[in-house]
Chain A
Amino acid sequence: MARQRKVDVVTVGAGWTAAILAWHLTKAGHSVVSLEQGPARFATPDFEHNHDSLRYSIRKAMMVDLTKETWSWRPNPRAPSLPIRQFGSFHPGNGIGGAGIHWAAQTWRFYPSDMRYRSHHVERYGADRIPEGSTIQDWPLTYEELEPYYTRMEYDIGISGQAGNINGELLPGGNPYEGARSAPYPLPPLVRSQGADMFAEATAGLGYNPFPQPAAILSQAYRGVSGKERSGCLLCGFCTRFGCEVDAKASAVTDHIPAALQTGMYEIRTESKVHRVNTGPDGLATGVTYTDTLTGEVHEQPADVVILSAFPLSNVKLMLLSRSSEHPNGVGNDREKVGKNYSYQLNLGPVTGIFEGRRFRSYTGNSCMQNVIHDFNADNFDHSDLDFIGGASITAGGGENAPVVSALSLPALDQAQFGSGGDSDGNGNSGTRKRPPVAGEVGSLAGQGSEWGQAWKENLRRNWDGILGIGIQGESLPYEDQFMDLDPTYKDAWGDPILRITFDFHENDRRLYRFMAQRCLEIMREMNPSRLVVTEELSPYNVHSYQSTHNTGGAIMGADPGDSVTNKYGQVWDTPNVFVTGATLYPQNPGMNPTGPLLALAYMTGDALTTRYFRNPRELLV
């Protein structure tokens, strides 16, 4: 085993939170190494010329290599698990920048009430409204504490949007429910699609408050922390599941990685797969062990601080695998809380409208050309007389509709009003499927829809670009019976067990979905389509339809070591020189994309590490 020179900090993965921390730390004079399992990649030349929706959307070129490692799933603790053999439900990324390269770039701040989730619901509705078995809890910090970091992040990478609340003053055209912000977005909103405008008109007519999707996609040229001038969005139509050719879509490789590399104190080792966090006799981390996957050589990387900044599923796996006599259940797991509070989302398209003969040009642009309402998100609406808690974003008008994906699931000409369908992100491959078992045999070889012959051809000719879906991004709560642990059967390419996910939708999800489907239906009727297709009930969870890469939890932060794995800085209670970043920390999963808050949290942790931690290393920050 080769022993590398010791560094101050090693990060697992070179994704976005790793890059933010590396940038903070290297500026302050600390040496940082990131070990990234995937390749290096930058806009030039790696994303040039990538306008190939077959390769990126269908074949998922930028995702984790499932031939080497996957995750298993089972619906409940009594059912057997099987490996996820091909991509479906979610798409973790591979390579520097992680999933934040191919992301959709929808960028939010969570609500103040999201961060007091349990307290808020108990205070307003009573503890008996919390679903049985649900393990929701408060964040260990307030919105106000995180606000300055949100603002810095938004200005560092260039977020486009319309503020709704600046220092308590409500502004027209923005989200009236958002927490007070100290500054407007640095850039005006992106171009909105024709469908987004129709949605805005319909929802405003119903008395709701539509606003443009906040996006980490530049509406104008901008210079972020890398010092490099980035182009405004070219609306090319190849965005989610792609790397941005002109760096208009913000990511670690547009800003924080170049900025950290400029210090000369940062090294990224690609194709380096971390297997273990090593700990010493005092129980503290001494570094990590990894394989150089190009040579097969095993290396040890000693470090004073280990940062687990991979995708949540990978962070949890690594913690569970890192067993020692000091941490027999794995690093961070002395109280057996690692793997708990796994949460997902209801990221679905309940209603699709067919506007015969219309040409929306929804193949252009990006997913963020949409308008949004939050009138039914979080607790922005009174739940007193409802049979569920939580809410959902409701959206329409996202672009980048590629026919190689969406032609498969085009609603059939003769399809009744009530049937299958769904397309929450404009990419045509989400939603529920009414078809009888097909995927079970041939997986992604099969697709949605079954129309064929001259009817399919005429339908494609007339209606492929005349479809407008309304999507929801709904909360899904954590429960005692949904969690992650190590699979007893299946192994990765290095002989380690893969991570097992135990998850299914619960009754609160079904009720929430039913309510939201009706709201979507009302809005769609207002838009007056030729025909519409609605899915009124939530199907059981499946792993073959893309829904959302918003897998959260597993090493959650909290105020009390008894019900969490880390403190608010992601510092692991039982191993204080190990930090966890990202959505791994979220106690539950709001009805918004998780990236904005996890970037802000990384800024806060970066601040705490550079200004306070190293004064008293290995001590818990307060």
Chain B
Amino acid sequence: MDEKERRQMVGAEKLDEKRLSRRRLLQSTGALIVTAGVTAGCEIDPFRSESEASRPLRPQPPPQFVPRRVRVVEGQYPSVPDTPTARPETGILRFFTLHEAQTVEAITARLLPGTPEDPGAREAGVVNYIDNMLAYANPFAEATYREAPFAETYVGERPPSAAEGDFSVVWIDHEEVERYGYQSTLGPRDVYRTGLRSVDRHANQAFGADFISLSEDQQDQVVTAMADGEATGFEHPGSEEFFHVLRRHTCEAMFSDPVYGGNRDMVGWRLIGYPGAQRAYTEAYVRGQTEEELPQSIADLNHFHPGEPANEHVILPVSGTRHAHGAED
């Protein structure tokens, strides 16, 4: 490898103290589990010399599985936010303007309508979930490859002649581009900011007022036009695309754990009959022979302790091995 390549490699990753300390910690605590230890880099030589290695191995002590007493799961998968430990504070907007938030609340309330007695998207706090997500350092909330060049579509036999020799764009037949998945230069924040402006543009063209000022019936007409891809006033994202974004995030907010800001009081789970984060189910439960569990948030999931009840029916097993490992012993 030449020096330039090497510099490129070295420069590609920045030292992150937090993650570094996590790995070092795992390795040192890992030594509790193993006899010779797992070590970092070349600081400690975990291997015996070749002559030692060729000797028969000493009889090993019975394996010790000492749970590491540290909880350092945070940051393990840096592109995906950690599970929150508590529901985010409501009444604060982290990304949306007040008008944007009101518009998202009004649209999602048409996608999944509700009343105080029979809650829907508004009552569940769907807008809180979306606002919170868009404020993440990575608003995609999942790992996303963002390197250029990006795609442009063309209609017809071949890309426009001006495209020849232009390597800043990859030209794709407009009928094929859907197969390639997400290829937009727009991120989630752009999609919302632009999409919400388009919703109001369409509402004004159709009814002479912003979306939040329309009657429910008029709002439904706007949503119908969006779902059919026929709403005027949209460019990127298109109206149908933006409808799907809103529908998907309504679904995420309604049915993800309440710690993410939606699904307030687990109203989404109650709507469909889903018990949420349970530690365990019994065979009888699976087969519909016992009563349905009440919904539970991950925040209320008891810490895991073998030998203790997982729920009122199941004791977390610590013993009871019937089949010993037989292939070698």
**Which single member of B110, B147, B181, B288 contacts A359 (CB below 8 Å)?**
B288
Given contacts A226-B63, A452-B111, A494-B9, contact A261 B277 (CB under 8 A): no
CB B56 to nearest CB in A, in angstroms, measures 8
User: Scoring A residues 218 to 249 as 1 if CB is less than 8 Å from chain B, else 0, what string do you get?
Assistant: 00111111111101101111000000011000
Segment 138-168 of A: residues with Cβ below 8 Å from B: 151-152, 155-156, 158
Segment 27-66 of A: residues with Cβ below 8 Å from B: 27, 29-31, 39-42, 44-46, 48-55, 58-66
State A453–B44 Cα separation when bound (angstroms): 63
- How many chain B residues sit at the interface, stated as a range, is 35 or more
User: Scoring B residues 64 to 86 as 1 if CB is less than 8 Å from chain A, else 0, what string do you get?
Assistant: 01011011110011111111000
**Which single member of A40, A60, A237, A457 contacts B281 (CB below 8 Å)?**
A237
Asked if A388 CB lies within 8 Å of chain B CBs, one says no
**Which single member of B5, B188, B286 contacts A445 (CB below 8 Å)?**
B188
Report the nearest B residue to A437, measured CB to CB.
B178
Chain A residues within an 8 Å CB radius of B249 = 445
CB B33 to nearest CB in A, in angstroms, measures 6
CB A621 to nearest CB in B, in angstroms, measures 21
User: Scoring A residues 1 to 36 as 1 if CB is less than 8 Å from chain B, else 0, what string do you get?
Assistant: 110110110000000000000000001011100000
Query: Are the C-beta atoms of A258 and B67 separated by less than 8 Å?
Result: no
Chain B residues within an 8 Å CB radius of A544 = 178-182
Query: Are the C-beta atoms of A543 and B181 separated by less than 8 Å?
Result: yes
Query: Are the C-beta atoms of B178 and A407 separated by less than 8 Å?
Result: no
**Which single member of B153, B170, B260 contacts A489 (CB below 8 Å)?**
B170
Query: Are the C-beta atoms of B281 and A235 separated by less than 8 Å?
Result: yes
Query: Are the C-beta atoms of A191 and B247 separated by less than 8 Å?
Result: no
CB B276 to nearest CB in A, in angstroms, measures 8
Given contacts A221-B322, A261-B38, A295-B15, contact A65 B143 (CB under 8 A): yes
**Which single member of A5, A52, A246, A293 contacts B13 (CB below 8 Å)?**
A293
Asked if B184 CB lies within 8 Å of chain A CBs, one says yes
Asked if B273 CB lies within 8 Å of chain A CBs, one says yes
Query: Are the C-beta atoms of A31 and B53 separated by less than 8 Å?
Result: yes
User: Scoring A residues 532 to 563 as 1 if CB is less than 8 Å from chain B, else 0, what string do you get?
Assistant: 00000000111110000000000000000000
Report the nearest A residue to B54, measured CB to CB.
A29
Chain A residues within an 8 Å CB radius of B254 = 403, 407
Segment 171-191 of A: residues with Cβ below 8 Å from B: 186-187, 191
State A289–B171 Cα separation when bound (angstroms): 36
Asked if A204 CB lies within 8 Å of chain B CBs, one says no
**Which single member of A67, A237, A489 contacts B149 (CB below 8 Å)?**
A489
CB B224 to nearest CB in A, in angstroms, measures 9
Query: Are the C-beta atoms of A264 and B36 separated by less than 8 Å?
Result: yes
Chain B residues within an 8 Å CB radius of A42 = 68
Asked if A529 CB lies within 8 Å of chain B CBs, one says no
State A59–B78 Cα separation when bound (angstroms): 12
Asked if A443 CB lies within 8 Å of chain B CBs, one says yes
Chain B residues within an 8 Å CB radius of A50 = 83
Query: Are the C-beta atoms of B63 and A39 separated by less than 8 Å?
Result: no
**Which single member of B151, B191, B247 contacts A408 (CB below 8 Å)?**
B247
State A385–B117 Cα separation when bound (angstroms): 60
Asked if A440 CB lies within 8 Å of chain B CBs, one says yes
Asked if A122 CB lies within 8 Å of chain B CBs, one says no
Report the nearest B residue to A456, measured CB to CB.
B112
Given contacts A229-B321, A452-B247, contact A262 B35 (CB under 8 A): yes
State A345–B36 Cα separation when bound (angstroms): 43
Chain A residues within an 8 Å CB radius of B70 = 45
- A-B interface pairs (CB < 8 A), number: 448
Query: Are the C-beta atoms of B248 and A445 separated by less than 8 Å?
Result: yes
State A246–B279 Cα separation when bound (angstroms): 10
Asked if B272 CB lies within 8 Å of chain A CBs, one says yes
Chain B residues within an 8 Å CB radius of A265 = 36, 46-48, 53
Chain-B contact segment, one of A82-90, A106-114, A414-422, A587-595: A82-90
Segment 22-46 of B: residues with Cβ below 8 Å from A: 22-23, 26-27, 30, 33-42, 45-46
Chain-A contact segment, one of B87-95, B96-104, B203-211, B236-244: B236-244
Asked if A116 CB lies within 8 Å of chain B CBs, one says no
User: Scoring A residues 452 to 492 as 1 if CB is less than 8 Å from chain B, else 0, what string do you get?
Assistant: 11101100110011000000000000000000000001110
CB B279 to nearest CB in A, in angstroms, measures 6
Chain-B contact segment, one of A72-80, A372-380, A508-516: A72-80
State A217–B144 Cα separation when bound (angstroms): 32
Query: Are the C-beta atoms of A237 and B245 separated by less than 8 Å?
Result: no
Chain B residues within an 8 Å CB radius of A369 = 286
Query: Are the C-beta atoms of A79 and B176 separated by less than 8 Å?
Result: yes
Most buried by A among B36, B48, B255, B320: B255
State A289–B26 Cα separation when bound (angstroms): 23
Given contacts A194-B287, A222-B321, A445-B188, contact A51 B278 (CB under 8 A): yes
User: Scoring B residues 135 to 164 as 1 if CB is less than 8 Å from chain A, else 0, what string do you get?
Assistant: 000001111111101010100000000000
Chain A residues within an 8 Å CB radius of B65 = 228, 258
Segment 266-283 of B: residues with Cβ below 8 Å from A: 268-269, 271-283
Chain A residues within an 8 Å CB radius of B15 = 294-296
Q: A65-B79, A235-B281, A438-B241 are in contact. List 8 more A-B contacts (CB 8 A).
A: A58-B256, A64-B143, A222-B323, A359-B273, A437-B177, A441-B238, A454-B113, A489-B167
22 contacts between A and B (CB under 8 A): A1-B6, A29-B56, A31-B53, A51-B301, A61-B77, A158-B323, A194-B287, A220-B323, A221-B321, A225-B325, A235-B280, A246-B316, A266-B34, A275-B9, A407-B251, A407-B255, A440-B184, A445-B244, A449-B247, A456-B111, A461-B271, A544-B181
